[in-house]
Structure 1
């Protein structure tokens, strides 16, 4: 069975994950240069078995047609370059009620860096979200992650300052 395609761009197909993506997921998330930017306590993926579990978890999230954590496949090679996500932000760490805030995010293999793929994939995910009726979309980035800060600017997102509202970490927040 072919994976569900969420959106397509000139160079990319954004789709659900398949079992054959496990090696690539492990290769992406085992790298400190990728994982150092993720979560309140960043850590690398420990083993290939974890990749199978995370793919299963991501595909379970992809059941809602608006939200998901998707594979970003390069059309020209069929290689998974990374991940793009459009998901509800977690309950705010400041104890206030969540307002249905939605986040766009991206995580790419270093061999895909510097080619505009993160921007292109995020643009596709954002268009998907707005088409589904979302009114606004956030991005949250570690303040020292220059590459992701640049992606936010290329997407036309407006900086709304630093916050520790989500993920129990100080992050630079952007809004579109």
Structure 2
């Protein structure tokens, strides 16, 4: 998939994104808000990209967000169907140097518009309840709080937000 925004392009994640992903997966914000994936080498990143695409979830997309002017990877966005969630799930993560610049909103809005155009009527997102910035972003996109849930193999409760497309 390829989505073009004003400042960003959303494209399929590739093995060439491994160095960028290694930095993202080990950034303090990712570890604190999403979790430590214990991925410490470029090869582990490449293996994880293949695992997510082929085994872990029925994946609609794991995408890299790239700056249109510099071609620099800024972050990621995902659109997945996870067995434990009732609806498809969107997620996002950005390198800390790109926080607060509107990239996460632009990216998420672009993906959400694409999903709506594909005929989906409900999408969910899960977020660490202490991640105020992501919660504000979800609410700005039109998501509403839908309760607590857990991720498989985890014990910590996380917040679930729902976006319902009204006719």
Which TM bucket (shorter chain)? 0.7 to 0.9
1:164 counterpart = 2:158: no
Farther-moved stretch of structure 1 (102-111 vs 17-26): 17-26
Alignment of 1:1-80 (within 5 A): 4-5=1-2, 7-39=3-35, 42-60=36-54, 67-80=60-73
- Displacement of 1:165 after TM fit? 4.9
Q: Classify 1:121/1:13 alpha carbon distance in 2 versus 1 (closer, same or farther; 3 Å).
A: same
Two-structure CA RMSD over aligned residues (Å): 2.1
Structure 1: distance between partners of 2:129 and 2:28: 17
**Partner SS state of residue 20, structure 1:** helix
Structure 2: distance between partners of 1:103 and 1:126: 10
- Displacement of 1:33 after TM fit? 2.2
Which string of whole-angstrom CA distances, capped at 9 and with x for unpartnered residues, describes residues 154-176 of structure 1?
A: 11111123x12544431111111
**Partner SS state of residue 77, structure 2:** strand
**Partner SS state of residue 67, structure 1:** strand
| Runs of 5+ consecutive residues of structure 2 not aligned to the other structure | none
Equivalence for 1:112: 98
Equivalence for 1:95: none
| Runs of 5+ consecutive residues of structure 1 not aligned to the other structure | 93-98
Structure 2: distance between partners of 1:123 and 1:15: 15
Count of aligned residue pairs for this structure pair: 159
Structure richer in helix, relative to its length: 2
